[in-house]
Amino acid sequence: MFTSFELKAVTIPNRIVMPAMCQYSATEDGYVTNWHRVHYGTRAVGGVGLIILEATAVEKRGRLSNHDLGIWDDDQIPGLRELVELGQAHGCVMGIQIAHGGRKSFGEELVAPSALAFPKMAAPHALTVSEIKDVVASWRHAARRAHAAGFDLLQIHGAHGYLIHQFLSPLSNRRTDAYGGSLQNRMRFLVEIVEAVQGEWPEDRPLSVRLSAVDYLDGGLSVCDTVEISRTLQDRGVDLMDISSGGLLPAPIKLGPGYQVPYAEAVKQEVGIPTIAVGLITKDELAQEILSNGRADFVALGRELLRNPYWVLKAQAKEEIWPWQYHRAMPRS
Ligand SMILES: Cc1cc2nc3c(=O)[nH]c(=O)nc-3n(C[C@H](O)[C@H](O)[C@H](O)COP(=O)(O)O)c2cc1C
């Protein structure tokens, strides 16, 4: 848990990740606020190895709420840079998740691979091929801005039923052109985004993709599909897979400690690409077990880090990891 891991030119000081978690606390124009400064700054002081900033919209119409962070405008760069500098000052590696909600976005302008609505939402407009190219270009510009802001790692949000996932899953993609049908075609949008992003993102910094390993529905994405997608992404130069699940459509999910770890494990074992496991990992025993047995290279703690920002410090009661200002409060055995 406390050994470092090198991804390209970036050394992540430990294996604990704070996964992307929307805070719905940006201004209506998608700018960083004091909330973000305190929220991310606290987890960086808390010793998290890698913070992945919340889903940050590559296009205004791709926001999930009217208070999402945005990266669709150059003016949004300085606020993001401040967060990067805050985190890095505490030795934390700073990543950002860039995202587009597609048919699950907030607002009127819903777009998707096919005109199939998410339950209780309006029907989206099915993107034409030339519109797809424009959306891909918005990911590219977002990558340029993420680099300009100084982020160490970039994550493409391909999970949770958002636009990329809508292309990947046969349940939401009924296209009959080059972007639909076979898995290879359904992957095309994601692969084009990866290529576009790589045009702007420096080669020596890690690129990550988050996927939902399964849709939990008949006819939806399976672990086998996810392994195949991950293999393609690895061949294309992606460095780190973050393996979540669900979100495409309402579905029954059996929750329990580490319930998504087997998916990360399958991707790691079968593809040999570094992975992040996530989902109800709250105890250091479980985190350590996952890492020691090589089931994943990183563990992400979401809600647990919201409740307990100093989880990492508490798990390692060693003086050197605690900020000197807090030494008098350090637990002693
Ligand atoms: C408040 C909140 C916001 C979230 N926002 C995002 C997000 O922006 N992007 C994403 O990929 N997942 C998001 N998630 C999912 C988390 O990253 C994580 O995968 C999930 O909470 C399961 O991990 P946990 O059991 O450790 O919380 C969010 C979860 C929470 C609780």
- Contact between 96 and 51 under an 8 Å Cβ cutoff? The reply is no
Residue positions counted in the chain: 333
The residue nearest atom 14 of ligand 1, judged by CA position, is 21
One-letter amino acid of 260: Q
CA-nearest of 166, 147, 158, 155 to 98 is 155
Tell me what pLDDT residue 316 has: 86
CATH architecture of 5-329: Alpha-Beta Barrel (3.20)
Q: According to the model, what pLDDT value does residue 321 have?
A: 78
Residues forming a β-bridge with 18: 51
280/128 Cα distance (integer angstroms) = 39
**Position in ligand 1 atom list of the atom nearest CA 159:** 11
Question: From ligand 1's centre to the CA of 19, what distance in Å?
Answer: 6
Pocket test for ligand 1, best of 17, 21, 280 (most atoms within 8 A of CB): 21
pLDDT in tens, the chain (333 residues): 999 999 999 999 999 999 999 999 999 999 999 999 999 999 999 999 999 999 999 999 999 999 999 999 999 999 999 999 999 999 999 999 999 999 999 999 999 999 999 999 999 999 999 999 999 999 999 999 999 999 999 999 999 999 999 999 999 999 999 999 999 999 999 999 999 999 999 999 999 999 999 999 999 999 999 999 999 999 999 999 999 999 999 999 999 999 999 999 999 999 999 999 999 999 999 999 999 999 999 999 999 999 999 999 999 877 777 889 988 887 665
Rounded to an integer, what distance in angstroms lies between the CA atom of residue 109 and that of residue 99?
16
For residue 280, the ligand 1 atom closest to its alpha carbon is 25
Ligand 1: atom nearest CA of 19 is 17
Domain segments of the chain as ranges: 5-329
* Residue whose CA is at the smallest distance from ligand 1 atom 2: 21
Q: E strands along 71-166, which residues? A: 93-99, 111-112, 125-126, 153-158
Q: How far is the CA of 302 from the centre of ligand 1 (A)?
A: 6
Nearest Cα residue to atom 9 of ligand 1: 20
Ligand 1, atom 4, lies closest to the CA of 21
Ligand 1, atom 28: closest residue by C-alpha: 21
In the structure, which protein residues have their CB atom closer than 6 angstroms to any atom of ligand 1?
Answer: 19-22, 54-55, 97, 157, 159-160, 210, 244, 278-281, 301-304
How many of the other CB atoms lie within 10 Å of CB of 107?
14
pLDDT at 44: 98
What's residue 331's pLDDT? 65
Q: Whose CA is nearest to atom 26 of ligand 1?
A: 302
Per the structure block, which two tokens stand in for 47?
A: 């010793």
pLDDT at 320: 76
Report d(CA 45, CA 133) in Å as an integer. Answer: 40
For residue 84 the two structure tokens come to: 């990067």
* pLDDT confidence of residue 57: 98
* 301 CA distance to ligand 1 middle (Å): 9
Span 202-230, pLDDT tens digits: 999 999 999 999 999 999 999 999 999 99
Whole-number pLDDT of residue 332: 64
Q: Which atom of ligand 1 is nearest to the CA of 301?
A: 26
Rounded to 5°, angle at Cα 71 from 67 and 77: 110
Task: Give the Å distance between the CA of 279 and the centre of ligand 1.
Answer: 8
Amino acid at site 287: A
CA of 246 to the centre of ligand 1 (A): 12
DSSP 162-220: SHHHHHH-TTT----STTSSSHHHHTHHHHHHHHHHHTTS-TTS-EEEEEES--SSTTS
Q: Counting atoms of ligand 1 from 1, which one is nearest the CA of 54?
A: 8
How far does the centroid of ligand 1 lie from the alpha carbon of residue 278, in Å? 9
Protein residue with its CA nearest to atom 6 in ligand 1: 21
Ligand 1 atom 29: the closest Cα is on which residue?
Answer: 21
